[in-house]
Structure formats: structure tokens, C-alpha cells
């Protein structure tokens, strides 16, 4: 009876998930002081500066490694086992001497989906390569190893002068940075990139080696790798086995190479040993990875913009988009596979934006920002030289946010069109072809090459495309754009809908899809085999796309009127903060470069009278089971193993199988798949999520409630070994018992 009630509660939670959150966050600010006894060291730190800034505190917290064991350019270190996937979309770690790589299931979701068919549904059934020749190639997927980090601020600053305006300053920075990058990569197969930090007050050079042959090795079924679906996303307690596995390949001489049957597994400089000891309350944990973006130095004006523009627009548009896609996905297996990855990508930050706004309000982050701005102003007023240098910073930022019509239009443009109907992004690929046919009709070779390039991408596009669904998206998202954006930023076809179609967006979309060559693979191929300027000019989807591009130009033109002053204001504000708080170790915002964070294992209190412990077990997984449900249906084999208590060497000393745990490490998007490393440098888990109560964390870190959700490495190994029987993978790892 108790199990039935749990299932019913979960089903109700799925229906009312977002509404139930309303009562959760409002009490956070009041109870935060009672949460947890150990605070994380806030910040995402550059590993090259660990010796200077962090190692003493890390040792005090229990770390047994030296700074040189964490980051070194002279010998192997932890940094050599941590990689950026696809230049920073996610993180992965090497766990064997033969290039075996672990990351999250949602980081490999696109590849798993791409290999799935109705006959071989790897999303539903999982995939396991029992031998190397069964591993699946993934064209376009990359793995980048960090070679070195170097401070180049002095070189760039020496080329700048105080009288430069922002545009001239930016151009000079680009010029000098390009020279530095060329010098660093010349004569090698490395890639060099100069990145700005602290709002362009510091600059560092990053050198990478990128491998292009990355093969899918293993993935659990979605009922494990995505267990809990959207309902559990950004939530704790969690029971998700969010992992997938790839292997890095290289040429026989160890160099990066495109896919070839002749390539061999890459032997990394360092790979992580795996601990079966588990984690306990208060244990030191370190996370290394590639966090995407934080905005901890954003002003109160910027926070208001994030809440009222970025997040509001995203949730409004994506709610409609997701509903349309989900309706199609529910029609059958083929539809589910086609749109699984698209739906997951869109749903992730749809829910995030809702949670971030709730968190920012509940924690009164704007008030905290205003208090900092007041202190900053008082500090400036103490010294006339400060007033001369930093005095206009806040007013510049404020003025840039005064008239946001163009910013609102830009936000709707990104969500409703650039991330909306796929027919527009497909038609945009023909823009270059159109320009050549119009301006250089005699250049037959260029026209042929462009046509072939577009045609070469169509198999992948149409494999996961449903024109009737996209037609519904065109109608619905065009209406949302028209209802919320100033008409001066309209693509012209929106006025046509209002005048000629009397506001009937569905009728317009229906006619467009009937007449366009872009909604049908055969018709588009026929056109590309004999491209015609006349046909392209008259195509309604191409016309609409060109009008969208024209509207983007108008938006960008208006936007550029305020961007230089906004950038200067931010740069001066952060420069002033660095002076005002000199002596404190300020950390830079995340920007998809390698960072290190450190903290401890522990629970937290999300609201009055509730305490979340730091780990979950397979017991909770079974308790959440809803047979037949698309989010909580538990695989029968997992249930059989559970009832047999067949946990093998992966059980905790308490006799249970731990599934996930939480730490107070400071992470964000891009850290997905990051290794969670113990005091000895051993892998104990993989980070995959943050908690709902701390969705404000990208703007304001809250140590009492912000948690990093990790899959326990013992659960990962149990799934590989006991559930999947892929002992070949276990055998190549170094396991510490």
C-alpha cells in the first residue's frame, strides 16, 4: 500500500510539478543559516593558479594532492585526464589507459539518438560495445585536452591606450590576441585561444590538442540514464544513472586524426583510478571541468534584465514549442526517436529559467546587488581619482538597460526563430548559394560546390524532421513573436499574415509548407541538382527566412548603439571591484575554460522541517517506479537485481547500493560529466546537475543550499558490470578497493 501511495504521489507530482515549487523557495532565505556546517570555497578557479590561490585551503579541507599533481605542464597531472567535449558543451574524463572516456548520458544523448532506429532503439534499450570493433563513430564529435594556460594580460594591455573607444579597444585586443595565438600554435597541431576574464580586465592563453575520432562505447537505457525525466530534472533527491561512455582514437603515431579504421585507441598522459570506497559526510571533493557561463559580477540592472527578458521570453516560447513537439513524439517510436534530443535540449533550460527566476526572487538577489553597488559608490566617493576612473561605470550600465525594445526583440528572435522552426535554419543554409547565383551567376563551380555542401547534410536533417510538426511551430512561434515584439522589428511576412491572411498564422504556414522546396527532401535535392535563382526567389520559406535575417540586422543595429557603453561600464565596474576588494581572492566568471572547484560531501535543508541527506540508494529508485511511465518506468532487469540484492563489490558498507550523492562544489552548465575526485585523486562520481532551490547560482552562489548532484561511480560500474554484462570495460579500468 505504501509503495502504491508513493507511485500515486509521483504521478501527481508529474502533473503539477511546477506549481508545487511555489511554496518551496519562499522560505529559503529564512532557513539558510541552519543548513550544513561546512561551506564550499565559492568560485571556479583556474587550475594554473591553484598553487598561488587555493592549495593551502584545499589541504586544510582534506586534499592530499600537491598543486603539481593537479596541474602541471612538465609532467602528467589531473588536468590531462579531464577533457572538453565538443569544445566545452560538456566535460568528460579518461578512465583507462586505452582512451576510455566517461561523461553524462545527456552529454552523449545526441550521439545515442543519432545511432538509434526503430530496429535498434539505443535510447530505449541502451548500447554496449563488447569489443572494440563494435564501437560506433560520431562524425563531428571532438575531445580537447588542455596543454597549458598562460597569463598574457601584460602583452595585451601594453597595446591599449586610455583614449581608445570600446570598438577600437576591442579591435586592438583581437589583433594582439591573434598574434599570440598564431605564435603559440605555429608548427604544431595544437589550437590556441586567448580568452578574456573579469570583464576584459585579464587575459589568458589556452592551448589545446583536439581529437576528432570519438566513438560511442556504452550507454544505459534511457530508463536509467534519464530516469526521472523532466520531473526530476534539477531536483534532489535523485536516482539517475546519468552516464555514457566513449573512446578517443588517434592515428597510429598518436596524433589527432579524422575517423579511420586504421586509427588506434589514444593513450592519455593520465587517467583516473576509480575508488570503490564511496563518499561520506564531510569528505573532500574536487570537480574539474569546463563550466560554461556564470555572471557573478552582474549588476542589479543586469539581473532585472535576466529575469524580465531572458528568462520570461525563454519560458513563454519554449512552453509552446515543447507542447507541440511532445504531441508529435507521443504518436510512436519513430517520432519519439526523431525528436528526443531536440526536446531534451529545449526542456532543460526551459525548466532552469523558471527555477532561476524563483530563486532570484526568493533570495532577494537584486537587493544584495544594490547593496554592493552602494558600497562601490561609497568607495568611489572617497577618492577623486577613483571618481575619474570608475565613477561612470554604473550609470553606463544602467543607461544601456533603459530602453530594451531591441533586446526584447533579440530574445524573441533567438527563441522563436533561430531556435524555433527548423525550416528557417535549413533555408538559411541556402543564403550563400543565393548570393553567389545573384551576384556571380557565371561562377558555376562555386554554385555547384555550395549546392553539394547543402545536399550532403540533408540525410541527417530529414532523418529527424517532421514537416507537419514544423508547420505547427511556424504558426505558433510566429504569432508569439508578433504579439510581443515592436512591429519595427517584424520580418515582413508577419505583416503579410496580418493584412492578407487576416491574422491566420496557421493558414499562412500551411500555404508556405505546400509551396516550399525546403519541407521535402526530394524536392530540395531536385532543386540543388539544378539550382535556379528564380525558384529560390519565389520560395515562401526562403523569402520568410531572408526577412528574418533582415529583421535581425535591424535588431543588431539598434543593439550595437548601447553595447559599447555597456561593455565599458561592466569592465570599469569589475576593475573597480578588484581594486576595492584587493587582498581577497576574486575568481573569474566561467567561460568554458577549464576550472577547478572544491568542497565537501553533505546534505542540506530545502525548507522548514525538511533535511535532505547526502546520498540516495537503489531503494529509492524502486520506490519511484511507475510501470509504463515514460519517466519513471524501471527496467525489469534492474528490479530483478535489486530484489536479489545482487550488488557485488559495488555495495556500500551499509549493504545498500548508492545511486547518487551531493556536494557543495560550485558548478554550472558545461560541468556536466565532470569528474568528482576524492582527496587522493581518485574518481568517486560524475557531476550531472544542480538542485532546484539554487537555480540562482549562476548569478549568486548560496553555499548553504547550492548543491552539485553526482552519480555515484559505484552505481555506474554496477550498471556496466551487473546490469549490462560489459565486463570488458570493467577489466580495462584501474579500480581501487
pLDDT at position 230? 94
pLDDT at position 445? 94
Instruction: Over range 541-546, report the average pLDDT.
Output: 97
| Span 111-155, pLDDT tens digits | 999 999 999 999 999 999 999 999 999 999 999 999 999 999 999
> Band of the pLDDT at 581, cuts 50, 70, 90?
confident
Domain match, 310 and 263 both: no
pLDDT at position 579? 94
Known catalytic residues are: 106, 242, 672
pLDDT at position 582? 83
Domain that holds residue 345: 300-386+401-562
Domain match, 17 and 81 both: no
Task: Please report whether residue 717 resides in a domain.
Answer: no
Task: Please report whether residue 137 resides in a domain.
Answer: yes
pLDDT at position 403? 78
Task: Please report whether residue 671 resides in a domain.
Answer: no
Domain match, 273 and 164 both: yes
Q: Which three cell numbers mark 558?
A: 539598434
Instruction: Over range 471-495, report the average pLDDT.
Output: 98
Of 734, 673, 707, nearest to 83 (Cα)?
Answer: 673
pLDDT at position 7? 38
Domain match, 334 and 214 both: no
How many CA atoms does the CB half-sphere of 585 hold within 13 Å? 15
Q: Which helix (H) or strand (E) holds 193?
A: strand 191-197
pLDDT at position 584? 81
Domain match, 27 and 97 both: no
Domain match, 274 and 311 both: no
Measured CA to CA, the distance from residue 663 to residue 265 in angstroms comes to 33
Task: Please report whether residue 720 resides in a domain.
Answer: no
pLDDT at position 35? 31
Cell 560554461 identifies what position?
292
- pLDDT higher than threshold 50 for residue 11: no
723: helix, strand or coil: helix
Task: Please report whether residue 84 resides in a domain.
Answer: yes
Domain match, 350 and 494 both: yes
Domain match, 433 and 325 both: yes
Cell 580537447 identifies what position?
144
- pLDDT higher than threshold 70 for residue 3: no
Domain match, 20 and 122 both: no
- pLDDT higher than threshold 50 for residue 471: yes
Measured CA to CA, the distance from residue 635 to residue 719 in angstroms comes to 12
DSSP state of 368: H
The full DSSP string for 561-620 is TTHHHHHHHHHHHHHHHHHHTBTB---PPP-SS-EEEEEEB--B--STT--B-SEEEHHH
Whether the CB-CB separation of 715 and 660 falls below 8 Å is answered with yes
Cell 530534472 identifies what position?
233
- pLDDT higher than threshold 60 for residue 2: no
pLDDT at position 27? 30
User: How much is the mean pLDDT over the chain?
Assistant: 93
Domain match, 21 and 103 both: no
Residues 6+ positions from 162 with CB-CB distance below 8 Å: none
Task: Please report whether residue 169 resides in a domain.
Answer: yes
Domain match, 316 and 219 both: no
Q: Which three cell numbers mark 344?
A: 531534451
Our count of domains for the chain comes to: 3
Task: Please report whether residue 110 resides in a domain.
Answer: yes
> Band of the pLDDT at 670, cuts 50, 70, 90?
very high
Task: Please report whether residue 382 resides in a domain.
Answer: yes
Measured CA to CA, the distance from residue 9 to residue 12 in angstroms comes to 5
| Span 13-48, pLDDT tens digits | 333 333 333 333 333 332 232 233 334 468 999 999
Whether the CB-CB separation of 219 and 105 falls below 8 Å is answered with yes
Domain match, 81 and 215 both: yes
520, 538, 562 — which closes off a domain?
562
Q: Which residue did the predictor score with more confidence, 586 or 356?
A: 356
Of 377, 428, 434, nearest to 573 (Cα)?
Answer: 377
pLDDT at position 149? 98
Q: Which residue did the predictor score with more confidence, 24 or 244?
A: 244
Of 669, 6, 128, nearest to 345 (Cα)?
Answer: 669
Measured CA to CA, the distance from residue 242 to residue 240 in angstroms comes to 5
| Span 683-703, pLDDT tens digits | 999 999 999 999 999 999 988
513, 534, 562 — which closes off a domain?
562
Amino acid at each position: 500500500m505504501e509503495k502504491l501511495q508513493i507511485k500515486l504521489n509521483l504521478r501527481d507530482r508529474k502533473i503539477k510539478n511546477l506549481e508545487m515549487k511555489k511554496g518551496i523557495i519562499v522560505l529559503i532565505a529564512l532557513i539558510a543559516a541552519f543548513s550544513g556546517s561546512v561551506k564550499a570555497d565559492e568560485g571556479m578557479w583556474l587550475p594554473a593558479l591553484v598553487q598561488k590561490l587555493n592549495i593551502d585551503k584545499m589541504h586544510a579541507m582534506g586534499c592530499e594532492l600537491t598543486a603539481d599533481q593537479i596541474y602541471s605542464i612538465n609532467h602528467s597531472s589531473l588536468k590531462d585526464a579531464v577533457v572538453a567535449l565538443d569544445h566545452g558543451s560538456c566535460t568528460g574524463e579518461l578512465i583507462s589507459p586505452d582512451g576510455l572516456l566517461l561523461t553524462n548520458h545527456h552529454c552523449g544523448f545526441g550521439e545515442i539518438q543519432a545511432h538509434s532506429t526503430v530496429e535498434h532503439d539505443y535510447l530505449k534499450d541502451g548500447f554496449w560495445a563488447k569489443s572494440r570493433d563494435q564501437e560506433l563513430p560520431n562524425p563531428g564529435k571532438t575531445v580537447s585536452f588542455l596543454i597549458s594556460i598562460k597569463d598574457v594580460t601584460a602583452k595585451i594591455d601594453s597595446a591599449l591606450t586610455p583614449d581608445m573607444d570600446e570598438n577600437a579597444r576591442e579591435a586592438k585586443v583581437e589583433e594582439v590576441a591573434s598574434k599570440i595565438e598564431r605564435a603559440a600554435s605555429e608548427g604544431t597541431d595544437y589550437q590556441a585561444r586567448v580568452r578574456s576574464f573579469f570583464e576584459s580586465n585579464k587575459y589568458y592563453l589556452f592551448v589545446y590538442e583536439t581529437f576528432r575520432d570519438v566513438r560511442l562505447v556504452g550507454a544505459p537505457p534511457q530508463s536509467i540514464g534519464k530516469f526521472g525525466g523532466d520531473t526530476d530534472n534539477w531536483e534532489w533527491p535523485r536516482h539517475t544513472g546519468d552516464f555514457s561512455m566513449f573512446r578517443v582514437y588517434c592515428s597510429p603515431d598518436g596524433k589527432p586524426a579524422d575517423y579511420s579504421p586504421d586509427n588506434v585507441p589514444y593513450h592519455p598522459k593520465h587517467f583516473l583510478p576509480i575508488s570503490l570506497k564511496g563518499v561520506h559526510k564531510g569528505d573532500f571533493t574536487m570537480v574539474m571541468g569546463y563550466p560554461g557561463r556564470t555572471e557573478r559580477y552582474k549588476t542589479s540592472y543586469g539581473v532585472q534584465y535576466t529575469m524580465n527578458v531572458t528568462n520570461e521570453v525563454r519560458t513563454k516560447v519554449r512552453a509552446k514549442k515543447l507542447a507541440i513537439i511532445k504531441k508529435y513524439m507521443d504518436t510512436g517510436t519513430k517520432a519519439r526517436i526523431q525528436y528526443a534530443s531536440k526536446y531534451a535540449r529545449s526542456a532543460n533550460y526551459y525548466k532552469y529559467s523558471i527555477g532561476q527566476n524563483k530563486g532570484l526572487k526568493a533570495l532577494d538577489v537584486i537587493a544584495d546587488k544594490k547593496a554592493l553597488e552602494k558600497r562601490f559608490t561609497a568607495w568611489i566617493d572617497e577618492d577623486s581619482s577613483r571618481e575619474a576612473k570608475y565613477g561612470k561605470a554604473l550609470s553606463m550600465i544602467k543607461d544601456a538597460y533603459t530602453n530594451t525594445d531591441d533586446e526584447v526583440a533579440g530574445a524573441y528572435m533567438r527563441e522563436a526563430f533561430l531556435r524555433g522552426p527548423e525550416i528557417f535554419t535549413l533555408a538559411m543554409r541556402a543564403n550563400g548559394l543565393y548570393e553567389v547565383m545573384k551576384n556571380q551567376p557565371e561562377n558555376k563551380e562555386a554554385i555547384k560546390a555550395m549546392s553539394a555542401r547543402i545536399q550532403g547534410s540533408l540525410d541527417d536533417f530529414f532523418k529527424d524532421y517532421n514537416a507537419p510538426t514544423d508547420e505547427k511551430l511556424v504558426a505558433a512561434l510566429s504569432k508569439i513573436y508578433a504579439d510581443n515584439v515592436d512591429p519595427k522589428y517584424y520580418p515582413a511576412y508577419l505583416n503579410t499574415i496580418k493584412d492578407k491572411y487576416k491574422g491566420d498564422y496557421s493558414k499562412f504556414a500551411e500555404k508556405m509548407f505546400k509551396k516550399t522546396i525546403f519541407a521535402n527532401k526530394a524536392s530540395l535535392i531536385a532543386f540543388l541538382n539544378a539550382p535556379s535563382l528564380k525558384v529560390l526567389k519565389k520560395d515562401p520559406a526562403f523569402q520568410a527566412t531572408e526577412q528574418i535575417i533582415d529583421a535581425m540586422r535591424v535588431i543588431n543595429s539598434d543593439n550595437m548603439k548601447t553595447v559599447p557603453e555597456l561593455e565599458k561600464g561592466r569592465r570599469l565596474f569589475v576593475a573597480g571591484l578588484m581594486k576595492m576588494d584587493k587582498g581577497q581572492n576574486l575568481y573569474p566568471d566561467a567561460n568554458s575554460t577549464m576550472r577547478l572547484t572544491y568542497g565537501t560531501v553533505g546534505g542540506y535543508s530545502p525548507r522548514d522541517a525538511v533535511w535532505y541527506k547526502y546520498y540516495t540508494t537503489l531503494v529509492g529508485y524502486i520506490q519511484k517506479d511507475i510501470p509504463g511511465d515514460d519517466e519513471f518506468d524501471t527496467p525489469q532487469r534492474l528490479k530483478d537485481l535489486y530484489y536479489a540484492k545482487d550488488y557485488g563489490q559495488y555495495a556500500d558498507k551499509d549493504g545498500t547500493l548508492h545511486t547518487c550523492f551531493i556536494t557543495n562544489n560550485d558548478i554550472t552548465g558545461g560541468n556536466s560529466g565532470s569528474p568528482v575526485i576524492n582527496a587522493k585523486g581518485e574518481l568517486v562520481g560524475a557531476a550531472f546537475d544542480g538542485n532546484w532551490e539554487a537555480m540562482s547560482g549562476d548569478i549568486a552562489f548560496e553555499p548553504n543550499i547550492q548543491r552539485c548532484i553526482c552519480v555515484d561511480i559505484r552505481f555506474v560500474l554496477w550498471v556496466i558490470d551487473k546490469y549490462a554484462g560489459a565486463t570488458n570495460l570493467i577489466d580495462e579500468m584501474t579500480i581501487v578497493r
